[in-house]
Amino acid sequence: MVRLPLEGIRIIDSTYVFALPYAGGLMADLGAEVIKVEGPGRPDVTRTGGYAGAFPENDLGDDWWNRPSTYNLIHRGKRSITLDMTDSRGREMFRDLIKVSDVVMENFTPRVMRSWDLDYPNMKRIKPDIIMVSNTGYGHGDGPYSGYPAQATTQEATHGHCWITGYKDQGPAKAGASFVDFLSTWTAMFAIGSALRYRNKTGQGQWADIGMYQAGVMFMSEYIMDAQVNGREGGRIGNRHPYRAPQGCYPALGKDQWITLSVGDDEGWAGICGLMGKPELAINPGKFFPTCFPGRKTMIESMKLSKNGLWASTAMN
């Protein structure tokens, strides 16, 4: 039987909502024993309310708090325990768990673990080779935002992603999915894998201090560089792209048939023309996209395609 890569690793998952809970579920898939810790007065929000999702057979059941689809998706494969961390006995049991675990994940604001004497320096006193992963909005530094709570939606506004999301004639918007949560998911998994490798080599644990702001701002790198180097301020262009054309969601032949295209080079455009039975259009793409090909600076493809008798017209921009 194939051994999974994280078999024999025990992870305490004292996290909520999506970012690190999902990391815990994925690491359970990889063989880790993951123990989900919740407080009696603060169940995970994916058990209740709008985050809960659907219920099997639309039946709440007698134990409805254990049945939401979102909760079971994210926390699949985990064990579960309830500890009252406001009580010294609950904190002592948490310390007992640390003694027999490899990794602790938490996503409280920085003051919380310190107030329980469970920050990384104190954890090392309990178990010197423990690996700790913290996920906050802005990290555990001494910056003015460090103590602020945060979630992916607010992060999109803070690091500027909302400014470039939406339509040109409308205000800033959030992305369709709260992607910053999942940037933290992958960052945490990579950090834990790296820390386990480091521990295997040195016998020492590590602390990964993940700030969601730092993870999210990576997606703004080209806009930041463009502003710094060229003095240009990025803006909203809907579903179009600064240098890819054609790009959009178009109606295809047949009722309610759609196709999404994003062409990044002349070779891709030639392939699209061939599929449409219009190979001659690939000979001089500049005829249809004078500023997009080869430079692709603007996105006027739908009008030009329609005028030349093609079956595509822009449905969503």
Residue of 13, 102, 119, 181 marked catalytic? 181
- Is the Cβ–Cβ distance between 9 and 200 less than 8 Å? no
181 labelled catalytic? yes
Distance CA 117, CA 98 (A): 13
Distance CA(163)–CA(236), nearest Å, equals 7
Which position has the token pair 């996503």?
107
Q: Which residues are catalytic?
A: 181
